[in-house]
Amino acid sequence: MTKFDQKQTNKPNIIEQLGQCMTEAGNEFGPSTPYGSTLIKCGQTHQKLGLTYKDFIQSSAMGYIQPLKSFLEGEMKSITVNIEFFIGRK
């Protein structure tokens, strides 16, 4: 089983976790301080990046990995059988 075969979970990935930590730290410093507001903005951006990463992985699996897997399981087996047949006829 590959990483793409696993069910998608709602567990936050490492990028989202970093964003959450940055947002919490920014709130502790105070949203009105320059450092706090910067941490909050960066944290929100990291959270969006994490969600985009999840979407990219899922769309990559659906658009590339799954068709490749079905080709290898179906067409490639018949190609291999035909090659063995023709090699045997030599």
Percent of the chain with pLDDT over 90: 49
pLDDT band (50, 70, 90) for residue 71: confident
Length of the chain: 90
- Whether the per-residue pLDDT at 9 is higher than 70: the answer is no
**Residue 36, pLDDT score:** 96
By the 8 A CB rule, do 56 and 47 touch?
A: no
By the 8 A CB rule, do 4 and 69 touch?
A: no
Q: So where are the chain's domains?
A: 13-89
Taking only the tens place, the pLDDT of each residue in 40-66 is 999 999 999 999 999 998 888 888 888
pTM listed for this prediction: 0.66
Burial of 84 (0-12, 13-18, 19+ CB in 10 A): exposed
List all residues 6 or more positions away from 35 whose beta carbon is below 8 Å from its beta carbon.
Answer: 26, 29
